[in-house]
Amino acid sequence: MDEITLTGATVEEAVAEALVKLAISREQADIHVLDEGKKGFLGIGSRPAKVQVIRKKDAVEEVDRYLKDVTAHMGVDVTTSIQREGKTVTFKLESEKVALLIGKRGQTLNALQSLAQLVANRYSAQFITIVLDAEDYRERRRVTLSQLAERMAHQAVRTKKPVKLEPMPSFERKIIHSALSGRRDIETHSEGNEPRRYLVITAKK
- The predicted-structure confidence for 56-76, as pLDDT tens digits, reads as follows 888 999 999 999 999 999 999
Q: Taking residues 15-32, report their average pLDDT.
A: 88
Answer yes or no: do 68 and 116 share one domain: yes
Residue 97 belongs to domain with CATH number: 3.30.300.20
The CA distance from 183 to 34, in Å, is 63
Is 121 a residue whose pLDDT tops 70?
A: yes
Answer yes or no: do 128 and 178 share one domain: no
Mind spelling out the 3-state secondary structure of 130-181?
EEEEECCHHHHHHHHHHHHHHHHHHHHHHHCCCEECCCCCHHHHHHHHHHHC
Confidence of residue 24 (pLDDT cuts 50, 70, 90): confident
Confidence of residue 43 (pLDDT cuts 50, 70, 90): low
Answer yes or no: do 87 and 129 share one domain: yes
Q: What is the dihedral of CA 70, 76, 78, 84, to 10 degrees?
A: -50
Q: Taking residues 4-26, report their average pLDDT.
A: 89
Residue 8 belongs to domain with CATH number: 3.30.30
Confidence of residue 1 (pLDDT cuts 50, 70, 90): low
Answer yes or no: do 119 and 144 share one domain: no
Is 170 a residue whose pLDDT tops 70?
A: yes
Q: What mean pLDDT, rounded, does the chain reach?
A: 91
Answer for the pair 116, 67: CB distance below 8 angstroms, yes or no: yes
pLDDT winner (highest mean) among 25-29, 34-38, 53-57, 82-86: 82-86
Of 16-30, 76-90, 104-118, give the lowest mean pLDDT range. Answer: 16-30
Q: Taking residues 108-130, report their average pLDDT.
A: 91
pLDDT of the residue at 123:
86
Confidence of residue 27 (pLDDT cuts 50, 70, 90): confident
Is 42 a residue whose pLDDT tops 70?
A: no
pTM for this one?
0.73
Answer yes or no: do 26 and 78 share one domain: no
Domain membership of residue 169 as a residue range? 139-203
**Closest of 190, 196, 159 to residue 176, by C-alpha:** 190
Chain mean position to CA 193: 22
The CA distance from 138 to 158, in Å, is 30
Is 82 a residue whose pLDDT tops 70?
A: yes
Q: What is the dihedral of CA 30, 34, 36, 40, to 10 degrees?
A: -150
What pairs with residue 201 in β-bridges?
163, 188
Alpha helices in 23-136 (DSSP H): 59-73, 98-102, 107-123
Answer yes or no: do 51 and 66 share one domain: no
Number of domains in the chain: 3
